[in-house]
Amino acid sequence: MKEVKDLSAAEFLADESGPSLLPYDIEGKGRVYIRRISNLEFRQWASRTSKAEGDDLYNDAALIQLCVCDKNGRRLMTENQIPKIASKYEAVILPLTNACCEFNGVGAESKRKIAKNSKTPGDDSSSDSEAGTN
């Protein structure tokens, strides 16, 4: 068994676990970049998702707004543009949402837990469908 080094606080805080930007080509349009979101940003997104009462279209658009950036890591869109993002074609939104989720470690199980937490008390219905589909 390989011995694993204990990290100092400085080493832990400096570790970014891989590249922070992922190039993503939108067919026939051009390239954007997907950025890693921080734990704080993820929790803020999850909180907004819970308030959106399981509206996958809005939730996916909000994740895209957080993750999509230029090559310098600056977000391309503001929160005010989330409804416009949500109005894009599914053929653009679904693959981009999936790429954002995969790059940031947000799996379908995480999205299901967030959606479950947004249900009203007494609502015991659950969905086994993949998150992000409409």
Q: How confident is the model at residue 118, as a pLDDT?
A: 47
Is 87 strand, coil or helix?
A: coil
CATH number at residue 26: 3.30.2220.20
How much is the pTM? 0.68
- pLDDT band for position 77 (cuts 50, 70, 90): very high
- What are the structure tokens assigned to 22, written together? 């992922």
Residue 14 within any structural domain of the chain: no
Is residue 39 a part of any domain in this protein? yes
Residue type, 109: E
CA distance 45 to 104: 12
**Residue 29 domain flag:** yes
Task: Look at residue 132 in the predicted model and tell me its pLDDT.
Answer: 39
Report the pLDDT averaged over residues 107-122. Answer: 53
Structure confidence by residue, pLDDT tens digits, 81-114: 999 999 998 899 999 999 999 999 987 555 555 5
φ/ψ of residue 24, rounded to 5:
-140, 120
Band of pLDDT at residue 130, cut at 50, 70 and 90: very low
Tell me how far apart the alpha carbons of residues 22 and 35 are, in angstroms, rounded to a whole number: 6
Alpha helix stretches (DSSP H) within the chain: 9-14, 39-51, 56-67, 82-86, 90-104, 108-118
In a domain, 108, yes or no: yes
As for how many domains the chain has, the answer is 1
Residue 79 belongs to domain spanning: 19-118
Q: What is the pLDDT of residue 37?
A: 92
DSSP state of 100: H
103 in any annotated domain: yes
What tens digit of pLDDT does each residue of 7-64 get?
888 877 776 666 689 999 998 899 999 999 988 999 988 887 766 555 677 889 999 9
Task: Give residue 125's pLDDT.
Answer: 42
Q: Is residue 3 part of a domain?
A: no
